Amino acid sequence: MPPRAGRPDRDQGRLKRQDGVCYGRPTLGDDDHGGLRQTPLHAAHVAAGGRLVPFAGYAMPVQYAGIKAEHASVREDVGVFDVSHMGELFVEGPDAVAAVDRLVTNAVSALPVGKALYTVCTNAAGTILDDLIVYRRGPERVMVVCNASNRGKIAAHFAQELAGRDLRYEDRSDATALLALQGPRAEAVLRAVGGIGLADLDPFHLADGTAAGVSCIGARTGYTGEDGFELFCAAKDAPTLWDALVAAGAAPAGLGARDTLRLEAKLALYGNDIDETTNPYEAGLGWVVKLDHGDFIGRDALRAVKEAKPARKLVGFEMTGRGIARHGYAIHALGEDGTPGPEIGTVTSGSPSPTLGKNIGLGYLPRERARTGTAIAIAIRGKHVPAVVVKTPFYKRAK
């Protein structure tokens, strides 16, 4: 039996069911934020009636109007997320590009100025420390965005590996706010608040600009499977930008909708689908590993994994019986007669799909059992509920 995928980071927490989606510890009361950090938009979330939950050490909104409604807003119209808990690392100087290139699996040095790439940062064993987006802001300027739960780990890793190089390195996470404007009308809303230059960006491109009179780094990137933009600004300016986007028609959206949207698009969640027990090839991220483009930490280990072929594979599945797969549930083989067999894997993510009207999930299975159409069973509260491996992503927007 393949090893189970890792559990979520401890500070990420178990998530409460709301609108049929498992997302959050019990909702925080008005005075129940002790020990949790607040984003620059905390007051706006409270004023809008956002239900706050602990997430990665922050008090974060899980929903406002409801997860299904917010999910639909992003799929059909436009929504805005506060993701200011993410980490922003800035590397500048003659060695900046080459140094960051050595810390990630994708080819930063081949990236044109004004463009971004998705990648992973691996350790010497080739397993994933975090998944990142790297933005090349200039010939000698790079911005790296990491997950909130991994900020301390990645910031320290970068500091250690970049020491002694001809560059300047700074973790500007606390001074930076990040708003994600996502959905088919994201471009229209960005134009409406004066972000005309940013609204003209092509996918995975970035530029300095303004929106609602606020200086921003804008990028046409996101984590929802929809068109959209991520806007980085000074923390003090975040409320002005947020209020303008909402006034222009963007629906506030919380962590619950962000999770269902990313799952439908099969975008990995660190701590669930990928972590330090998984490598990029088994996670379906081999496309971000450029083995022949210079040296990087973990390259030799990953070359060996590719040559041997990974023993397991992250697959998507749909429930064919009644039940919702949740993170950590066991996956069993299923015989032709419907009899459940031995445990063969573990669910890494699972929830109802508001767009598809089905219950979906992700999990690792042995390579020989990972083919589309393979019947499996999910162990749910003492019962073996049938499911089937399907092609992913579950949802892909029309171009």
Angle, in degrees to the nearest 10, between helices 67-76 and 255-264 = 50
Domain with CATH 3.30.70.1400 in the chain: 87-171
- The rounded mean pLDDT for the chain is 93
The CATH H-level superfamily of 311-390 is: Aminomethyltransferase beta-barrel domains (2.40.30.110)
What is the chain's Cα-based Rg? 21
pLDDT of residue 155: 98
pLDDT of residue 32: 56
Is 305 within 8 Å of 292 (Cβ atoms)? Answer: no
Name the CATH topology of 87-171.
Alpha-Beta Plaits (3.30.70)
pLDDT of residue 35: 86
Per-residue b or e along 198-217, where b marks 16 or more CB atoms closer than 10 Å to that residue's CB: bbebeebbbeebbbbebebb
Is 180 within 8 Å of 222 (Cβ atoms)? Answer: yes
pLDDT band at 20 (very low <50, low <70, confident <90, very high): very low
- Paired tokens of 278: 């998984």
Residue in 110, 160, 108, 162 with CA at minimum distance from that of residue 132: 108
Helix, strand, coil percentages in the chain from 3-state DSSP, rounded to 5: 25, 35, 45
Domain with CATH 3.30.1360.120 in the chain: 17-86+175-264
Is the pLDDT confidence value at 6 over 60?
A: no
Per-residue pLDDT reduced to its tens digit, 87-125: 999 999 999 999 999 999 999 999 999 999 999 999 999
pLDDT of residue 398: 86
Alpha-carbon distance of 238 to 80, in angstroms, equals 12
User: Helix, strand or coil for residue 368?
Assistant: helix
pLDDT of residue 11: 31
Per-residue pLDDT reduced to its tens digit, 195-204: 999 999 999 9
pLDDT of residue 9: 32
pLDDT band at 30 (very low <50, low <70, confident <90, very high): low
pLDDT of residue 399: 75
Is 64 within 8 Å of 49 (Cβ atoms)? Answer: yes
pLDDT band at 28 (very low <50, low <70, confident <90, very high): low
- Paired tokens of 308: 């041997």
Instruction: List, in order, residues 6 or more apart from 394 with CB less than 8 Å away.
Output: 263, 264, 265, 266, 316, 318, 353, 356, 360
CATH code of the domain made up of 17-86+175-264: 3.30.1360.120
Alpha-carbon distance of 348 to 370, in angstroms, equals 15
Q: How many CB atoms lie within 10 A of CB 9?
A: 19
pLDDT of residue 139: 98
Is the pLDDT confidence value at 12 over 60?
A: no
pTM of structure: 0.92
Is the pLDDT confidence value at 22 over 60?
A: no
Cα 375 to its chain centre, rounded Å, is 28
Mean pLDDT within 245-274 = 98
Per-residue pLDDT reduced to its tens digit, 333-386: 999 888 999 999 999 999 999 999 999 999 999 999 999 999 999 999 999 999
pLDDT of residue 134: 98
Per-residue pLDDT reduced to its tens digit, 143-168: 999 999 999 999 999 999 999 999 99
Sheet of 141-146, strands arranged across: 115-122, 128-138, 141-146, 87-92, 168-171
pLDDT of residue 17: 42
Domain with CATH 2.40.30.110 in the chain: 311-390
Is 222 within 8 Å of 205 (Cβ atoms)? Answer: no
In the block, which residue shows the tokens 């072929």?
309
Strands 340-353 and 330-334: antiparallel
In the block, which residue shows the tokens 């999930």?
361
